[in-house]
Amino acid sequence: MNQVDKAGKEAGRPLTLREASRSASIGSRMELENFISRCFVQFEEAIRVLLPEESLVQNRVQRSKLRASPKRINAFEL
């Protein structure tokens, strides 16, 4: 978050997290994108409390499905 504040001072105005992620280093950009994604997921999970109707949500978070491995791997047989 210090880098977000630093980028805002350089721009001369407060920046959104998306704007700050464009000017941050690669590692910080990935951290910010992860933070933003986690926030959107939590907002989506609490949608019934935040909005009067769920149909107002235009874009939903795409969740990947976990696939089971085809067979168990025995580490002692490798």
User: Is 32 contained in some domain?
Assistant: yes
- What is the domain extent for residue 13? 1-52
The pTM assigned to this predicted structure is: 0.59
For 2-6, 29-33, 45-49, which range has the lowest pLDDT when averaged over its residues?
2-6
Percentage of residues of the chain with pLDDT beyond 90: 1
For 27-36, 44-53, 63-72, which range has the lowest pLDDT when averaged over its residues?
63-72
Look at residue 26 in the predicted model and tell me its pLDDT: 59
Look at residue 25 in the predicted model and tell me its pLDDT: 63
User: Is 3 contained in some domain?
Assistant: yes
**Is the pLDDT reported for residue 15 higher than 80?**
yes
User: Is 70 contained in some domain?
Assistant: no
User: Is 10 contained in some domain?
Assistant: yes
Please state, in angstroms and rounded to a whole number, the distance separating the CA atoms of residues 60 and 49: 16
User: Is 71 contained in some domain?
Assistant: no
Please state, in angstroms and rounded to a whole number, the distance separating the CA atoms of residues 69 and 48: 35
Task: Give how many domains the chain has, as a whole number.
Answer: 1
